[in-house]
């Protein structure tokens, strides 16, 4: 063995024979890396041929991806940048600490930003573009940043130094309801619409939204709607956050669609809230494997420059070996316990390592930094990420949670640290050299140097160079005009007796909108592999499915009129089976009026059961993001969606939709109702600029669509109108003594009940179409609030009371949704009961309980929402009011085929 062989053998624990091969390989490497890659690839292929197959290993050695000798020099003034970072660290700390001192329990986080500061600051000084400059000196739009939500104090602290926020703002961190403007706890565009763009604090939503944002940016570019620019989407992600399925569940899309406009930075401080992310393993190895497997460009930033010298002296690889013997739990303990402990337990395991660090003091040892705190390492990683082409990049940076917080560094409880002790604060300002007196430090007083100080000048200059401050949010001045209702004449006229479903009807509306010269290009149909369910084949033919690589194969159905058409500039986002991904696309499109200054009208069509209850938190974030667009809940209704059973039949999405303040929801029965709502939605969101979105249910039951009655539009939008009076059924019916409410497909059951009641029992009923219980309730509670706050003024009447004026008798409400939906109107429907007093007029029928596999007739009978159940409920109620004899009513139930002893469907 040569001397070199011995070295090699020791480094890799190889045999002498293998060491010779390795040495030969080293020589190939010396002649050039591409040759080395070629050799390895050739050996791999040869191995395969001879039956020697290498086991896959997706993680590499536990050291930085970029070797020290390949790093470029730092382009900034590192000292002044360190100073700026210290100031931001202090102000973030001061803001949270000060607030918790004044208002104990108000919360906030300091340790996350403490770990992230270098990574954000290197970005702010050198990478985050608020604008780009085009080749002709023209201005191009800038990057998007998804911040780790609970690192917000650091983002505020920078904005404070930049002069965007005042002392008053900082003092009102988490005090949003005071006279002076406060700062929201986390990134909430709803609360700070000129500042934040992307809500991120619900773990996992930022990452998935960022991935689909990158994809949507390419979609707009490939469709020629926006210019292709060098801009990037940066997503800062917690290492604990990667356990959320939303964080990693969609990463393969990034490589598949070559989203090299996307950069993830995972802040691997090795901790989450309760303790280590992977105490017994290394999270960085795990994530490297996952991202590599998904085809991303992985850049590890584990060790800071201080270690470079040690690695250089580590000729036999013992230091790296020692590092790889440790798990994250060990690294945390070494950081928490200090230099002496590190020397004894880490280096002390091998005498050679102890020897290696004998010149280092304990203090120097503990200040050997992790890579995420070293601007040079971070800069080089970002540079590589930004320059990488073809796939997205992920920077896995090791950091220290609670960096700089003295005794709170890297401890299991660090996440929840809100305050430091007086001594801790004094030590902090000393360590970071903040020129404020100790008393001010203890109070958590913010500090901003004079505007002409070198650090302020440098900071402003860097941001000027990169196009301005970030984040900021703004909205395009004008949208566009919605087409008038006459544009939808085909549907307001009715279907001429032809049986269609509201789903089929909507698809034809969508095709019509796609052809509209003014807004057709803005429409974004989104569907998670449910297009055929909704009859979208014709839409696919019309506008194509977006496919960044076009169609590289000949579809087998190419000869057919409605073939599966994929195109580079296709308009449909066919997401495959991912409701979360589809919702993330909907979010990117729904925010486009602000992020791209390009208002887009997304129609997200999906199985209503797999909407709010499956991806509800993404919908909540969409609302926070001031998203606009249409969620179209298809195959709606617990009994209308036949055959599929318990997991598919949705009887509650309207209840869930009602919980989201900006979600305007409708349950239309007929196509004219649907188009009135769609027309108004486009007008309200895009012409008027209201930050709201629409949820509309679509059914698959086919029936004739009537023409729109004169003057119905107002009631449709407010939520109720009389569809067919008793006299409309029969001119000599007399005045109605009961009122029937129906919604969606169940309106037809109410109409049939009206006939049964008239024909069999001589009871005259009016039938109302209730298009939105939620909108009616919102109007009613707003009116009631006004009345409550103005007791001296004349009482205002709610819309529901106004609409029902003169309508007599009990009200039987039936829908394909839970009973709690109509019940929300109960407070305004009082005055029924024996002698017409003391009881709510409302009798609610609905679909509480688990669905079943069966046909509509059986489902509606089971859930007691068919015409017979509605007629029976009416008669029963009239008996309770003393208008029909009890025994007669009981007999009527039997005549209607109702089993009074049947099991309650709510629990069946
Ligand atoms: C969906 C969700 N679950 C729980 C939380 C509460 N929470 C906020 S921060 C946090 C820990 C975050 O750890 P990590 O992602 O590692 O970020 P770090 O603070 O360590 O940078 C938790 C559990 C949340 N915000 N969202
Ligand atoms: Mg963490």
Angle formed by the axes of helices 78-102 and 152-161, nearest 10°: 110
Looking at residue 12, its pLDDT comes to 62
Rounded to whole angstroms, how far apart are CA atoms 738 and 338?
80
From the CA of 112, the nearest ligand is 1
Q: What is the rounded CA–CA span in Å between residue 784 and residue 828?
A: 10
Q: Is 535 helix (H, G, I), strand (E, B) or coil?
A: coil
Cα of 713 vs centre of ligand 1, distance in Å, is 47
Ligand nearest to the CA of 328: 2
Which of 154, 126, 142 has its CA nearest to residue 378?
126
Q: Give the mutation target among 150, 237, 286, 580 for probing the ligand 1 site: most ligand atoms within 8 A of CB.
A: 150
Whether 844 contacts 819, CB under 8 Å? yes
Q: What percent of the chain has pLDDT over 90?
A: 89
Which residues, in sequence order, are bridge partners of residue 770?
Answer: 720
d(CA 602, CA 258): 23
Q: What digits encode the pLDDT tens for the residues 670-700? A: 999 999 999 999 999 999 999 999 999 999 9
pLDDT at 835 over 60: no
Dihedral Cα 817, 819, 825, 827, nearest 10 deg: -170
Beta carbon of 401 within 6 Å of any ligand 1 atom: yes
The whole-number pLDDT of residue 6 equals 63
Helix 306-313 to helix 318-325 angle (10° resolution) is: 120
Answer yes or no: is the C-beta of 402 below 6 A from any ligand 1 atom: no
Q: Mean pLDDT, to the nearest integer, of 25-34? A: 91
Question: pLDDT tens digits, residue range 536-557?
Answer: 999 999 999 999 999 999 999 9
CB neighbours of 828 closer than 8 A, spacing ≥ 6? 780, 798, 800, 801
Q: Torsions phi, psi of 672, nearest 5?
A: -65, -35
Q: For strands 573-574 and 601-607, give the pairing.
A: unpaired
User: First vs last Cα of the chain: how many Å apart?
Assistant: 80
Q: Is the pLDDT of residue 2 over 60?
A: no
Residues ≥6 apart with Cβ < 8 Å to 422: 442
Tell me what pLDDT residue 422 has: 86
Which residue's CA is the closest to the ligand 1 atom numbered 17? 238
Do 810 and 874 contact (CB within 8 A), yes or no? yes
Q: What is the mean pLDDT of the chain?
A: 95
Q: What pLDDT was estimated at residue 417?
A: 81
Ligand 1: residue of 108, 241, 267, 413 to mutate (most ligand atoms within 8 A of CB) is: 241
Residue 470 to residues 93, 132, 164, 443: CA-CA distances in angstroms?
Answer: 20, 13, 10, 29
State the Cα–Cα distance between residues 751 and 477, nearest whole angstrom. Answer: 46
CA atoms of 540 and 527, how far apart (whole Å):
11
What's the sign of the alpha-carbon dihedral 89, 92, 95, 99?
negative
Q: Please name every residue paired with 830 in a beta bridge, in sequence order, or none if there are none.
A: 840
Cα of 88 vs centre of ligand 1, distance in Å, is 22
pLDDT tens track for 211-229: 999 999 999 999 999 999 9
DSSP state for residue 631 in the 8-state scheme: E
Counting Cβ atoms within 10 Å, is residue 819 exposed (0-12), middle (13-18) or buried (19+)?
buried
Contact 285, 65 (CB under 8 A): no
Range 240-262 average pLDDT: 98
Is the CB–ligand 1 distance for residue 273 below 6 Å?
A: yes
Atom of ligand 1 nearest to the CA of 267: 21
Q: What integer pLDDT is reported at residue 410 of this predicted model?
A: 79
Alpha carbons 211 and 209: distance in angstroms, whole number: 5
What pLDDT does 7 receive? 63
Q: Which two tokens stand for residue 258?
A: 């070559």
Query: In the predicted model, is pLDDT for residue 5 greater than 70?
Result: no
- DSSP-assigned beta bridge partners for residue 768: 722, 741
| 351 Cα to the center of ligand 1, angstroms | 40
241 lines ligand 1 (CB under 6 A): yes
Residues forming a β-bridge with 688: none
Give which of 612, 628, 636 is closest to 682, Cα–Cα.
628
- The arithmetic mean of pLDDT across residues 281-286, rounded, is 98
Angle between helices 747-761 and 867-880 (to 10 degrees): 60
Which tokens sit at 450? Answer: 């004079």
- Ligand 1: atom nearest CA of 109 is 19
Q: Band of the pLDDT at 409, cuts 50, 70, 90?
A: confident
DSSP-derived letter for residue 901 is T
Query: In this predicted structure, what is the pLDDT of residue 354?
Result: 97
Query: Which residue shows structure tokens 């000084």?
Result: 125
Q: Reduce the DSSP state of residue 572 to 3 states and report it.
A: strand
Confidence of residue 59 (pLDDT cuts 50, 70, 90): confident
Are the C-beta atoms of 736 and 764 separated by less than 8 Å? yes
pTM of the predicted model over 0.85: yes
Q: Which pair of tokens denotes residue 143?
A: 């990057």
Spatial contact of 740 and 750, defined as CB atoms under 8 Å apart: yes
pLDDT tens, 856-874?
A: 999 999 999 999 999 999 9
Whole-Å CA distances, 805 to 673, 722, 800, 833 = 22, 12, 9, 18
- Distant-in-sequence, close-in-space partners of 313: CB < 8 Å, separation ≥ 6: 356
Which of 117, 415, 617 to mutate to test ligand 1, by most ligand atoms within 8 A of the CB atom? 415
The rounded distance, in Å, linking the Cα atoms of 304 and 367 is: 10
**Nearest Cα to Cα of residue 321 among 353, 369, 367, 280:** 353
**Confidence category of residue 49, pLDDT binned at 50, 70, 90:** very high
Q: Which range, of 57-61, 278-282, 364-368, averages the lowest pLDDT?
A: 57-61
Ligand 1 within 6 A of 417 CB? Answer: no
d(CA 77, CA 87): 16
Burial (CB count <10 Å: 0-12, 13-18, 19+), residue 272? buried
Please tell me if the CB atom of residue 775 comes closer than 6 angstroms to any atom of ligand 1. no
pLDDT of 833 higher than 70: no
State the pLDDT at residue 9. Answer: 59
Q: How far apart are CA 397 and CA 238, in angstroms?
A: 10
Query: What contacts 181, CB < 8 A, 6 or more positions away?
Result: 168, 169, 172
Please compute the mean of the pLDDT values over residues 364-384 and round it to a whole number.
97
Report how far Cα 706 is from the mean position of its chain's Cα atoms: 39
Residue 436's φ and ψ, nearest 5 degrees, are -130, 150
Q: Of 73-77, 178-182, 229-233, 325-329, which gets the smallest average pLDDT?
A: 178-182
Q: What is the residue-wise DSSP string for 561-603?
A: TT---EETT--BEE--S-HHHHHHHHHHHHTHHHHTS---EEE
Give the count of beta carbons closer than 10 Å to the beta carbon of residue 833. 16
């Amino acid at each position: 063995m040569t001397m070199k062989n011995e070295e090699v053998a020791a480094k890799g624990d190889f045999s002498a024979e293998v060491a010779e091969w390795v040495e030969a390989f080293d020589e190939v490497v010396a002649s050039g890396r591409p040759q080395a890659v070629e050799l390895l690839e050739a050996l791999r292929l040869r191995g395969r041929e001879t039956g020697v197959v290498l086991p896959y290993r997706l993680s590499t050695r536990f050291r930085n991806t970029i070797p020290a000798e390949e790093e470029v020099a730092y382009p900034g003034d590192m000292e002044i940048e360190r100073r700026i970072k210290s100031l931001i660290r202090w102000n973030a700390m001061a803001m949270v600490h000060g607030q918790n001192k004044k208002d104990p329990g108000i919360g906030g986080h300091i340790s996350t930003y403490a770990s992230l500061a270098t990574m954000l600051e290197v970005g702010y000084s050198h990478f985050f573009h608020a604008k780009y400059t085009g080749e002709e000196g023209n201005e191009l739009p800038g990057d998007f940043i998804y911040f780790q939500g609970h690192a917000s104090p650091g983002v505020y602290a920078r904005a404070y130094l930049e002069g965007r926020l005042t002392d008053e703002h900082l003092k009102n961190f988490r005090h949003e309801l005071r006279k002076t403007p406060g700062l929201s706890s986390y990134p909430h565009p709803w609360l700070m619409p000129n500042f934040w763009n992307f809500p991120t604090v619900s773990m996992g939503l930022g990452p998935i939204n960022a991935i689909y944002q990158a994809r949507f940016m390419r979609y707009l570019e490939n469709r020629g709607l926006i210019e292709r620019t060098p801009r990037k989407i940066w997503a800062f992600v917690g290492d604990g956050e990667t356990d959320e399925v939303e964080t990693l569940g969609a990463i393969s899309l990034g490589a598949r669609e070559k989203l090299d406009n996307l950069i993830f930075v995972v802040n691997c401080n090795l901790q989450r809230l309760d303790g280590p992310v992977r105490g017994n393993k290394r999270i960085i190895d795990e994530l490297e494997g996952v991202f590599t497997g998904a085809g991303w460009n992985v850049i590890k930033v584990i060790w800071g420059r201080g270690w470079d010298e040690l690695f250089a002296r580590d000729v036999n690889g013992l230091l790296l070996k020692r590092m790889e013997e440790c798990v994250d739990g060990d690294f945390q303990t070494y950081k928490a316990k200090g230099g002496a402990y590190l020397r004894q337990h880490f280096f002390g395991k091998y005498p050679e390592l102890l020897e290696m660090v004998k010149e280092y003091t304990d203090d120097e040892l503990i200040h050997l930094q992790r890579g995420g705190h070293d601007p040079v390492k971070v800069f080089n990683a970002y540079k590589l990420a930004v320059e990488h082409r073809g796939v997205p990049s992920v920077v896995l940076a090791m950091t220290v949670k609670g960096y700089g917080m003295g005794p709170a560094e890297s401890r299991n409880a660090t996440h929840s640290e809100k305050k430091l002790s007086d001594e801790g604060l004094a030590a902090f300002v000393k360590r970071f050299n903040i020129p404020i007196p100790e008393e001010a430090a203890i109070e958590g007083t913010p500090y901003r140097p004079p505007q002409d100080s070198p650090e302020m000048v440098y900071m402003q200059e860097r941001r000027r160079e990169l196009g301005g401050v970030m984040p900021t949010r703004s909205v395009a001045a004008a949208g566009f005009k919605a087409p008038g209702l006459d544009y939808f004449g085909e549907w307001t006229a009715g279907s001429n007796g032809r049986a269609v479903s509201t789903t089929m009807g909507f698809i034809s509306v969508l095709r019509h909108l796609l052809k509209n010269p003014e807004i057709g290009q803005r429409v974004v149909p989104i569907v998670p592999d449910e297009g055929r369910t909704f009859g979208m084949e014709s839409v696919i033919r019309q506008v194509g499915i977006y496919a960044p690589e076009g169609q590289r194969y000949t579809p087998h159905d190419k000869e057919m009129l409605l073939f599966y058409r994929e195109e580079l500039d296709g308009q449909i986002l066919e997401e495959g089976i991912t409701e979360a991904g589809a919702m993330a696309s909907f979010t990117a499109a729904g925010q486009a009026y602000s992020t791209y200054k390009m208002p887009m009208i997304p129609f997200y069509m999906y199985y209503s059961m797999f909407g709010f209850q499956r991806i509800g938190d993404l919908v909540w974030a969409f609302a926070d993001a001031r998203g606009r667009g249409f969620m179209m809940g298809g195959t709606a209704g617990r009994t209308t969606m036949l055959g599929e059973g318990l997991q598919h039949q949705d009887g509650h999405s309207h209840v869930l939709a009602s919980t989201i303040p900006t979600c305007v929801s409708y349950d239309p029965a007929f196509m004219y109702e649907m188009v009135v709502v769609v027309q108004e939605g486009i007008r309200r969101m895009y012409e008027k600029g209201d930050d709201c979105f629409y949820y509309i249910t679509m059914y698959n039951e086919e029936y004739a669509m009537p023409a729109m009655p004169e003057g119905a539009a107002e009631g449709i939008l407010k939520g109720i109108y009389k569809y067919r009076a008793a006299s409309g059924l029969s001119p000599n019916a007399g005045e109605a003594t009961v009122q029937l409410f129906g919604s969606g497909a169940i309106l037809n059951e109410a109409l049939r009940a009206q006939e049964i009641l008239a024909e069999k029992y001589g009871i005259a009923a009016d039938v109302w179409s209730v298009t939105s219980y939620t909108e009616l309730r919102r109007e009613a509670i707003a009116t009631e609030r006004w009345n409550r706050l103005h007791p001296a003024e004349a009482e205002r009447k709610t819309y529901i009371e106004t609409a029902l004026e003169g309508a007599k008798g009990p009200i039987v409400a039936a829908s394909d949704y839970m009973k709690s939906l109509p019940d929300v109107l109960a407070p305004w429907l009082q005055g029924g009961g024996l002698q017409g007093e003391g009881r709510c007029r409302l009798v609610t029928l609905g679909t509480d309980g688990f669905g079943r596999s069966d046909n509509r007739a059986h489902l509606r009978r089971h859930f007691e929402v068919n015409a017979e159940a509605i007629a029976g409920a009416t008669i029963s109620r009239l008996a309770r009011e003393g208008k029909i004899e009890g025994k007669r009513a009981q007999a009527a139930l039997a005549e209607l085929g109702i089993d009074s002893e049947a099991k309650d469907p709510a629990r069946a």
